[in-house]
Every structure is written in C-alpha cells, then in structure tokens.
Amino acid sequence: MRFNWLGNPSVEKDGVRVGFETRKALALLVFLSMREGLISREALSLIFWPDFERARAFANLRRTLSSLRSSLGEGFLDIGRDAIGLENKSQPEIDIREFQSLVGIVRSHRHAEGIECQSCLNSLASAVALYKADFLFGFNVKNAEDFEEWQNDQRENLRLSLAWALERLAKASLLSGVLETALDYAKRWTLMDVYNERARRTLMLGYALSGRPGAALQHYEEYEGLLWSSFGEKPCEEMREFRGAIGSGNYDFSSLERVDVGKRFLRDKGKGEDERARLLLVRQ
Ligand SMILES: [Zn+2]
C-alpha cells in the first residue's frame, strides 16, 4: 500500500489506485496515517463532524470507517471500541515519511562549517524530487475546521523543510559550479517563496555566474515590480546593493550567507587561484 499525500492525495494498492466513497473518508485516512498510535472516537468525531451532536457525529464516524475499510480491504485499520488507528503491521509507504526521513538524515549529520557532504546532498535531491506538490494540494473537506487547520500546519512545516533543502542544494550547486542545476533549484525555491530575497539573490547570482547578468537584472526588476504592485514597497537595502553589484559586474558570494564558509572551505582545500577567482567572482 502506498499513500501519496504530497500533491492531490491518492492511495495505491498493488499499483492500482484505490477509490474512496467520500472526501472525508480519505481525509480521515490521511489524518490517521500521520499520527502515532490510536486516536479516540471522541476526538475524531469532534475533528471531522464538529457541527453534529455527539451521537450523530459518532454514527458518521462509524459509517465513514466502514466505507474506508471496504476501500482499503482488511488488515489496514485498527478499529477499536474506543480508538482508531492504522494496523501496526500494515506499514504503508508514505511519501511524506520518506521526505521527512531524508531531510532528517541531513539535519542530524554534522558537517565541517556547514558544508553538506555528497551523501547528504544526494538525500536532499531525492527529498525534493519526492515533493511533487504541497501537502494535499487542491484537497479540502467541508465543515471540519480543525482538520483544515491541522492540514495547513502540516503543509507549512513541509514547505519550510522544502525551502531549507532547496537553499542547500542551490548553494552547493553554485559552489561546485554546476550552474544549470543551481538555477533549477533556485528557481523552484523562488517560486515557492516569492518574497524571499535570499532565494531571489541566489537565483540572480546563479544567472550572473553563468554569464547572464542581464537575466539577473531582469529578475530583479520583475521582483521589484511584484513587490511594488503587491505592497507598494521597494526591495530591502541588501537586495538593492546586490543588484548594484551585479549591474557593475562587481559581485561575489558575500551577500549570500554560508558562502563565506564556502570560500574558506575552498581555500582550505587549496584550490587553484583560477578556480578561486571564478568562484569568488570578483569581476573587474
Ligand atoms: Zn552529510
């Protein structure tokens, strides 16, 4: 059994997509699959049928569980008298668990001066490849505000992890000179977090490093226009300075945090003067 909760939710059993009678049945499965242990009927009926009196909410829960069981087949749900959960032995694959586990490996691995090792970069690349779209993208259930709030919290946490991963991948790719890849990651980071100026600067630097300073400046202008039309604001000073540096061809990594670390790292590794000059990109 495989649960795909990143993007519009779907369940596959032996490679075949499973159908659900109602959205609430699927929402209940999502909720149960992401919680440890059993959850009381009381809590579930309050979360999913908050507007119903207790007896009717319990009856709805019973009906929905029965429908869920016929969709999934026997052996996947632990439906107790008081509490419900997934059967311990069912152990479905869940895309979110895989994503979190890959990011978790990297977060817990200590690196010299914050430079991720290759194995961690591979884990991050696999994690962002799993993240097809936001948690339960385009999916909602009516009249279940607590579920909606929980859904939004989960989505936000996952987005933060994705941004964290994309930032590291973009910067590592910039530092190692794999510029097209760096641009791909930086674009994705920028698209998911459109007002993040660090993401914008990383993308601009990627363009400039790959010999397209014009694209970097155009990107700045698009951002400036967006900020102005949305909030009547101008980009922050650091951003304007960065734009000026790119315009004058006198830019380096110093505006991007962690890049100084990269400079030291490269120096310590005794890289040749030419490569250092290329990476530091202090253009004359
Ligand atoms: Zn590592």
Q: What is the pLDDT of residue 255?
A: 53
Closest CA to 9 of 21, 24, 27, 22: 27
- Name which of 40-44, 80-84, 156-160, 171-175 the model is least confident about: 171-175
Q: Residue 23 phi/psi, 5° resolution?
A: -65, -35
CA of 270 to the centre of ligand 1 (A): 21
H-state helical runs in the chain: 23-33, 41-48, 54-72, 95-108, 118-130, 145-175, 179-192, 197-209, 213-231, 237-247, 259-268, 273-280
User: Which band of pLDDT confidence, cut at 50, 70 and 90, is reported for residue 267?
Assistant: very low
| 44-59 residue pLDDT tens | 999 999 999 999 999 9
| 197-233 residue pLDDT tens | 889 999 999 999 999 999 999 999 999 999 999 999 9
Mean pLDDT of the 236-251 span: 86
Looking at CATH, the fold of the domain delimited by 2-93 is given as Arc Repressor Mutant, subunit A (1.10.10)
Check whether 270 has a pLDDT greater than 50: no
Check whether 152 has a pLDDT greater than 90: yes
User: Which band of pLDDT confidence, cut at 50, 70 and 90, is reported for residue 263?
Assistant: very low
The residue whose two tokens read 């250092």 is 276
CA of 107 to the centre of ligand 1 (A): 8
CA of 214 to the centre of ligand 1 (A): 35
Count of beta carbons in the 10 Å neighbourhood of residue 171: 27
Q: In whole angstroms, give the CA distance from residue 29 to residue 46.
A: 16
CA of 243 to the centre of ligand 1 (A): 33
CA of 256 to the centre of ligand 1 (A): 21
Q: Please state the domain extents for the chain.
A: 2-93, 194-284
CA of 168 to the centre of ligand 1 (A): 12
CA of 119 to the centre of ligand 1 (A): 6
Percentage of the chain beyond pLDDT 90 is: 75
Q: What is the pLDDT of residue 269?
A: 44
| 86-137 residue pLDDT tens | 998 888 999 999 999 999 999 999 887 667 899 999 999 999 999 999 999 9
What is the pLDDT of the chain when averaged over all its residues? 88
User: Which band of pLDDT confidence, cut at 50, 70 and 90, is reported for residue 261?
Assistant: very low
What pTM did the predictor assign? 0.85
| 229-242 residue pLDDT tens | 999 999 988 888 88
Check whether 275 has a pLDDT greater than 90: no
CA of 263 to the centre of ligand 1 (A): 19
CA of 109 to the centre of ligand 1 (A): 5
Neighbours of ion ligand 1 (CB under 5 A): 109, 117, 120
Q: What is the pLDDT of residue 245?
A: 87
Mean pLDDT of the 29-53 span: 95
CA of 268 to the centre of ligand 1 (A): 19
CA of 98 to the centre of ligand 1 (A): 17
Q: In whole angstroms, give the CA distance from residue 48 to residue 52.
A: 9
Q: Which residues contact 209 (CB under 8 A, 6 or more apart)?
A: 174, 179, 182, 281
